[in-house]
Amino acid sequence: MTVTYVIDGSRVTGLEQFWTVIGEAVNGPGGYFGSNFDALADCLSGGMGAPDDDFVFEWRDHALSAQALGHAETARYLRQSLDRVHPTNRPAVRRRLDDALAGRGPTLFDLLVETLTNGLGPGGLRLL
């Protein structure tokens, strides 16, 4: 039987809140399901945190999440990342930051959808 985990997009006000919302969707209040893109991909691929059952994510009110995780939040995230990335990666992150500040390029929402889509089989993510 396929289990459906609901991501309540109306609760997603930024990236940190997304990690909380998806963790609680899968593991209940206070639940953890990764707090960065690598951890999320690990959880989806059957590593620690992956549900035992077949599962699908249903991202309700995803348009609200798309807005909250848009270019402004992407720029905030990239600005915070700039000092933590390896020096050889800083130029690429800087370019992505410049794009986000200009309202161009993929947003955090786009990257999360890509991660969820790549980590799940067909029909694994429903945007509602």
For the CA atoms of 42, 31, 25, 48, the dihedral, rounded to the nearest 10 degrees, stands at: 20
Q: What is the pTM of this model?
A: 0.92
Termini Cα distance of the chain: 21
Give the per-residue pLDDT at 47: 57
pLDDT score at 106? 98
**How much is the pLDDT for 11?**
98
**What pLDDT does 60 receive?**
98
Q: Cα–Cα–Cα angle for 51, 53, 55, nearest 5°?
A: 80
126 DSSP β-pair partners: 58
d(CA 4, CA 114): 18
From the number of C-beta atoms within 10 Å of its C-beta (0-12, 13-18, 19+), residue 2 rates as exposed
Q: Tell me the C-alpha distance between 66 and 89, whole Å.
A: 26
Which residue numbers in the chain have pLDDT < 70? Answer: 46-52, 119-123
Kindly report the three-state secondary structure assignment for every residue of 37-61.
HHHHHHHHCCCCCCCCCEEEEEEEC
